[in-house]
Amino acid sequence: MILILLGTQDSPFPRLMDQVEKAVQKLQLEDEIFAQVGVTDYASERMHISKYFSPEEYERLFNEADLIIAHGGAGTLFQAMHLQKKVIAMARLAEFGEHNDDHQVELVSKLAKGGYILDAHADVTRAIRKAQNFTPKPYDFSNQIVETVGKYIDEL
């Protein structure tokens, strides 16, 4: 099962949904797909679309997902890493009105370089192909998360 999470920002993120839709068609994916799209208006015959999931539904889907495709928000990414999920992340970009700045680019890039997630850049199809043979590196959440988030916040 694939879970798509666009976050709870007040800006839409159709770019990620369009990329997923193209990947589903091109790769002829048969997985069941659930998407939490927030303020993004999106319809799909192939995916189960919800504006927001209840906390219980979110937790169930998150735990059951074989692959998570998400925006580059720290909360979503660290939750997935904590559960050692395969994650493809696409950063929201200011140039498309998806966020007020490009801070997600740096976070997604650093986590991908560390082997914890896959960075979709602008090609979800390629990232899904990579995910088939990708095993995320375990993340040491003891003190490392505090240091990483602290450094990241300091750099903003």
Residue 156 has pLDDT above 60, yes or no: no
The rounded percent of the chain whose pLDDT value lies above 90 is 79
| Per-residue pLDDT, 127 | 98
DSSP 69-122: EEES-HHHHHHHHHTT-EEEEE---GGGTSSSS-HHHHHHHHHHHTTSSEE-TT
Q: pTM of the predicted model, to two decimals? A: 0.89
**Residue 24: pLDDT band by 50, 70, 90 thresholds?**
very high
Sign of the Cα pseudo-torsion (50, 17, 152, 155, in order): negative
Residue 1 has pLDDT above 80, yes or no: yes
**Residue 145: pLDDT band by 50, 70, 90 thresholds?**
low
| Per-residue pLDDT, 112 | 97
Between CA 76 and CA 89 the distance in angstroms is: 10
CATH number, domain 2-155? 3.40.50.2000
> Token digits for 88?
């493809």
Residue 38 has pLDDT above 90, yes or no: yes
Beta bridge pairs of residue 110: none
> Residue holding tokens 């939750």?
79
Residue 14 has pLDDT above 70, yes or no: yes
Mean of the pLDDT values across residues 130-151?
Answer: 79
In the chain, what are the domain boundaries?
2-155
Name the strand (E) or helix (H) holding 63: helix 55-64
Mean of the pLDDT values across residues 10-29?
Answer: 96
Between CA 121 and CA 142 the distance in angstroms is: 29
Between CA 119 and CA 49 the distance in angstroms is: 23
For the stretch 67-121, pLDDT in tens is 999 999 999 999 999 999 999 999 998 787 788 778 899 999 999 999 999 999 9
Between CA 138 and CA 25 the distance in angstroms is: 31
Residue 57's contacts (CB-CB under 8 Å, 6 or more residues apart) are 50
